Amino acid sequence: MKFILNRLIYLLFVLFIAISGIFFLINKMPGDPAYGLAVSISQQRNMDINKALEIAHQMMGIDTGEPLFIRYVKFLNQFIRGNIGYSTYYQTTVNEIVAKSLPWTLLVVFISILISFIIGVYLGAFSAQKRGRAVDISISFVSSIIQAIPPFVLAVLILFVGAIKLRIIPLGGAYPVDMEPSLSMDFIISVIKHAIGPIVAISIPQIAVWTLAMRGNTPQIMEEDYIRFAMIRGVKDSTIARKYIRNNAILPLVASLAIAFGYMLGGNTLVESIFNYPGIGFYFGKAIALRDYGLLTGLFSLIVVGVIIATFLAEIIYSLIDPRVKVK
């Protein structure tokens, strides 16, 4: 309990530092936060850019005369209340954007991690069992190449082949525009069809990552006394492989699982953008492209909070499943 409490205090501290860091980083970035909006206003209205800037400042509620520190306090105050900002481009709160985009990202990330973890653990354990043989060498060789492929490259490939050549997956979106979200079979199938591209693009390198991690963990486990003692007891090889080796080699990976989950919340910007998939990453990409500072700050903070909380959970999980951590 004390361990968890300690970590919790530490967590709050880290969160505070991170969010402050993000605020200052974005607000100190070269360029005027309202510039993007001003450009579009000036183009639409055929207006002088300086005039447009003024209007943009008013629209965003930026008082250019207001000191940075006051803006920071306001931002923190709003953030603590759960208002993570205002998007100038979409002209709505960031919370609203998160509410409609986060479920899609969670769907894709959750399924990708599940699939890649299960396949990776099996492949890695299998490979480790055949250590040094041709299958093992091929698996680890192929995995080390695949894990280095950026998901966005796969995304382009999948989109090109799947949507343009074969026309088996849709070009974008999370579901067809003419469909009303419901729990009908049709809707679910079309959601899966739309998600499959991003899922495959993200999963393939992830499978390789888990395979290598599992394969790397296993030899160390095989030297443990309890493996030897199981052999001495005449326990069957298949049981040893499953309950003694695999289950113990997975332990350290469970912690990485939580961390991977956190990173993936925002890490798939390019993949979501390529598939036009309206998740967090997609809007993050938009925020950068459109210089929508409010959206950028809000989403960036959300992602960082996600990573930090995931890391925290990983530590807790690890201490629960491996009592030796607590002792330290």
Partner 1 sequence: MMKALLKVENLSAHYIVKEGTIKAANNINLEIAENSVTAVVGESASGKSTLIEAITMSLPPNGRISSGKVFYKDNDILKSDYEHLRKIRWTEIAYVPQAAQQSLNPTMKVIDHFVDTVKSHNIKWSNHEIRERASELLKLVRLEPGTVLDSFPNQLSGGMKQRVLIALALLFDPKILILDEPTSALDVITQAHIVKLLKEIKKNRDITIIFITHDIAIAAELADYIVVIYGGHVIEKADTIKIFKEPKHPYTKGLINSIMSILSKDDEPKGIKGDPPSLLNPPPGCKFHPRCQFASEICKKEVPDLIKLDDSSKVACFLYKSAGGDVDE
User: Interface with partner 1 by CB under 8 A: which residues?
Assistant: 224-226, 228-236, 239, 243-244, 247-248, 251, 321-324
CB of 115 vs partner 1, minimal distance in Å: 24
Q: How far is the CB of 236 from partner 1 (least distance, A)?
A: 4
Report the residue number, 178 or 225, with the smaller CB distance to partner 1: 225
Nearer to partner 1, 62 or 325 (CB): 325
Spatial distance between the Cα atoms of 283 and 156, rounded to a whole number of angstroms: 19
One-letter amino acid at 277 equals Y
* Residue 5 CA to its chain's centroid (Å): 26
Question: Least distance in Å: CB of 125 to partner 1?
Answer: 14
Angle between helix 94-129 and helix 247-267 axes, rounded to 10 deg:
150
| Closer residue to partner 1 (CB): 2 or 324 | 324
Lookup: tokens for 244: 């003694």
Tell the smallest beta-carbon distance from residue 96 to partner 1 (Å): 44
Beta-bridge partners for 179: none
Written as one string, the DSSP assignment of 121-178 is HHHHHHHHHTTTSHHHHHHHHHHHHHTTS-HHHHHHHHIIIIIIIS--S-SSSSS-TT
The Cα 248–Cα 31 span in angstroms is 52
Instruction: Indicate the residue among 15 and 235 with the shorter CB distance to partner 1.
Output: 235
Q: Which of 189, 87, 209, 100 is nearest to 146 (CA)?
A: 209
Nearer to partner 1, 161 or 321 (CB): 321
**CB 233 → partner 1: shortest distance, Å?**
5
From the centroid of its chain, how far is CA 83? 21
- Residue ranges of the alpha helices (H) in the chain? 2-27, 35-45, 49-60, 68-80, 94-129, 134-146, 151-158, 185-222, 225-232, 237-239, 247-267, 269-274, 280-289, 293-321, 324-327
Question: Shortest gap between Cβ of 1 and partner 1 (angstroms)?
Answer: 17
Q: Which is nearer to partner 1, 64 or 247 (CB)?
A: 247
Residue 248: CB minimum distance to partner 1, A: 6
If the CB atoms of residues 155 and 221 are measured against partner 1, the closer one turns out to be 221
Report, in Å, the least distance between residue 213 CB and partner 1: 18
For residue 301, give the DSSP letter. H
Residue whose CB is less far from partner 1, 218 or 311 = 218
CA distance 151 to 199: 10
Q: Which amino acid is at 182?
A: S
Nearer to partner 1, 250 or 264 (CB): 250
Quote the least distance from Cβ 324 to partner 1, whole Å: 7
Please report, as a single letter, which amino acid is at residue 303.
Answer: I
* Residue 179 near residue 187, CB atoms below 8 Å: yes
